[in-house]
Structure 1
Amino acid sequence: MLEDLDKNLSFLELKCRRPVEHLLAGEYRSVFRGRGVEFEDVRPYQPGDDVRTMDWKVTARTGVAHIKRHIEEREQFVYLLVDLSGSILHGADGKTRRTVVEVCSLITMAAIKNQDRVGLVLFTDRVEMIIPPGKGRSHAMRIMDALLNFQPQGKGTGFAEMFTTFGHLARKHSATFVVSDFLSSDFLQEMQALTLRHDMNAIRIESSSVTKTKISGLVRMKDAESGRQRVVDLKSGDGDDGSVLRQQMVEAGVNLMELAVGQDCVESLAGFFHARQRMVTR
């Protein structure tokens, strides 16, 4: 069993490595950059130093001219906030989770290649697992292993506790990816508030369901999270095509990527990064 898990993880890394090295790392870097420069320390003034960097408070206190030293802030914090509720894990074929695993692994490897720190929060109706931000291949493999193999306890979806936890974790500006099918409705206000401090991105996983087929009329459906059954009128439009969510995300200032189960994650991510880059350069 452990050998099979190791093989699956190694295969996932190999599958993601080539597109990251040849395409996604560059696209990622063009969008998600450090935030300029940050203060490092002060040192005594030397002839030729730019007087505009003079630290007048330290100079006045010590009686010796000092300047401020700054370093370029390249390192970025990246967080993956990943929904593992029943609606994501339902189905014997596991295609929905595989799509989530692949897109998150590609983001992780692109960020790690860019020397960024990546953190992970897995959630259902509770916070299931936290991996604090870290760097390097071994850290990336730890995140990918959790995405691939972690078995959650909860089945529902609860954004409130997860966002509260994330708020305590992310003290610095972070590029944040919330990965979910967004079937719950308690996320919008919290995400909008977080856009004031973080670069918020949502990846909506679109499950293949009867709403994508030619079936119309009344259909009895079982909620994968609560286990309850209800009758849905597909003809009346109960199966949402995502237009409402798109409008909500635009109004909240959140960048939305829509990814169908089984869709090419590399192509979709490259398109999303490219669209983000066009917005930055306008």
Structure 2
Amino acid sequence: MKQHASRLKKLKIKSQKLVDSFFAGDYSSLFKGSGLEFYEARPYIAGDDTRFIDWNVTGRMGQPFCKIFKEERELVLTIIIDVSASMYGEFSHTKSTTAQEVLALLSLAASENGDRVGILAFSDLIELHFPPNRGQNSIFSQIQQILSLKPKGRGSDIAMALRTASEVMKRRGICVVISDFKSDHYWKELSMLARRHDVVAIRIESNSDQILPKAGYMTLLDPEEHQSLALMPSGRRFRQEYQGFWQTSRNQWRNNCRRRGISTLIINTQDDIVRALLRFFRRRHREQ
């Protein structure tokens, strides 16, 4: 518990760098926001869009009334984080550690801006779900539980997590998906989520995903399916083909996201996370 508290304190300092470096004054402009919120109903005026007639009020008052909307200023951030077995590993800085830090930095920065933050952690189960809330104490508690989470599931069902997010996100908001995306059959659900919400996909990678060591013989283990594969990656051509496969897979993933209007960010476990996020937000700011 003390270890998590110390780590959370360091993450708070890092998140302040994000706020001080870029978010101040520009945070809201980075996202499409929550859209429009119903404000009031007023009598219909010639020329009003008939699509906005409030039929319930019209029926009660005996004359046509129109709905008036105002821009929703508050941003609601929902973070979907993959805690499946493929996110963990034998190294000190695993993909899970990187994903947790990204979640913590974004949550704390959004909280600093006064916005509400919700978190959904998944494997092949919904491991944790926190509805959107605001306030530093609430955010600290949520992050603390994510840091100490011991997942019950092993597999990764991104489609299930995205369907759940679509069901619980009642109003338009921002949705950040953090995963290594080593799963299939989730594009339909991701497309549906992106139609209503501003979606950002953050792909966590490690060097071991794409670069094989020069070993004479080795066994690869799938931590989710418990399947193993024996390889002899000592040949230069084999290692190049393996690396090329992962490069092609990454490019296809990025292109599939962009076709759906989804912003993408790829973070390696060896990257400076604050610097990677700042580069991403500066690029996004230019594109808005």
TM-score, shorter chain, exceeding 0.5: yes
**2:100 aligned partner:** 101
1:214-248: CA deviation from partner (whole Å, max 9, x where unpaired): 64997531112222111465343365121221222
1:39-50 correspondence to structure 2 within 5 Å:
39-42=38-41
Comparing 142-151 and 77-86, the one that deviates more: 142-151
The answer to whether the Cα contact below 8 Å between 1:200 and 1:254 also exists between their aligned partners in 2 is yes
1:183-237: CA deviation from partner (whole Å, max 9, x where unpaired): 1122222111221111111100011206236649975311122221114653433
The answer to whether the Cα contact below 8 Å between 1:96 and 1:262 also exists between their aligned partners in 2 is no
Comparing 218-227 and 75-84, the one that deviates more: 218-227
**2:162 equivalent to 1:163:** yes
Comparing 120-129 and 99-108, the one that deviates more: 99-108
Amino acid at match of 1:5: H
- DSSP 3-state at the match of 1:157: coil
Comparing 26-35 and 181-190, the one that deviates more: 26-35
State how far apart, in whole Å, the 2-side matches of 1:60 and 1:88 are: 56
State how far apart, in whole Å, the 1-side matches of 2:80 and 2:164 are: 10
**1:252 aligned partner:** 260
Q: 1:243 to 1:214 in 2, by over 3 A?
A: farther
Q: 1:131 to 1:211 in 2, by over 3 A?
A: same
State how far apart, in whole Å, the 2-side matches of 1:119 and 1:190 are: 19
**2:239 aligned partner:** 234
State how far apart, in whole Å, the 2-side matches of 1:166 and 1:86 are: 21
Structure 1 unaligned segments of length 5 or more: list them. Answer: 45-50
Please report the RMSD computed on the Cα atoms of aligned residues, expressed in angstroms: 3.2
- DSSP 3-state at the match of 1:196: helix
**2:273 equivalent to 1:265:** yes
Amino acid at match of 1:236: E
The answer to whether the Cα contact below 8 Å between 1:39 and 1:68 also exists between their aligned partners in 2 is yes
TM-score between the two structures when normalised by the length of structure 2: 0.81
Q: 1:194 to 1:74 in 2, by over 3 A?
A: same
Amino acid at match of 1:249: C
Q: 1:253 to 1:63 in 2, by over 3 A?
A: closer
1:156-178: CA deviation from partner (whole Å, max 9, x where unpaired): 11112212211210111121111
**2:117 aligned partner:** 118
State how far apart, in whole Å, the 1-side matches of 2:177 and 2:278 are: 17
In the TM superposition, what is the alpha-carbon distance from 1:275 to its structure 2 partner?
A: 2.0
Q: 1:116 to 1:98 in 2, by over 3 A?
A: same
Q: 1:12 to 1:258 in 2, by over 3 A?
A: same
In the TM superposition, what is the alpha-carbon distance from 1:181 to its structure 2 partner?
A: 0.6
Amino acid at match of 2:126: V
State how far apart, in whole Å, the 1-side matches of 2:206 and 2:54 are: 60
Given candidates 271, 276, 287, the residue that maps to 1:279 is: 287
1:9-65: CA deviation from partner (whole Å, max 9, x where unpaired): 223223322332332455532212534553223479xxxxxx989x89869965899
State how far apart, in whole Å, the 1-side matches of 2:275 and 2:141 are: 25
**2:151 aligned partner:** 152
1:71-110 correspondence to structure 2 within 5 Å:
71-110=70-109
Q: 1:59 to 1:215 in 2, by over 3 A?
A: same
TM-score between the two structures when normalised by the length of structure 1: 0.83
1:84-139: CA deviation from partner (whole Å, max 9, x where unpaired): 11111122414322211211112112222222211101001111110111111112
State how far apart, in whole Å, the 1-side matches of 2:28 and 2:143 are: 21
**2:27 equivalent to 1:28:** yes
Structure 2 unaligned segments of length 5 or more: list them. Answer: 232-237
Comparing 16-25 and 202-211, the one that deviates more: 16-25
State how far apart, in whole Å, the 1-side matches of 2:202 and 2:258 are: 13
State how far apart, in whole Å, the 2-side matches of 1:78 and 1:56 are: 30
In the TM superposition, what is the alpha-carbon distance from 1:78 to its structure 2 partner?
A: 1.1
Q: 1:60 to 1:97 in 2, by over 3 A?
A: closer
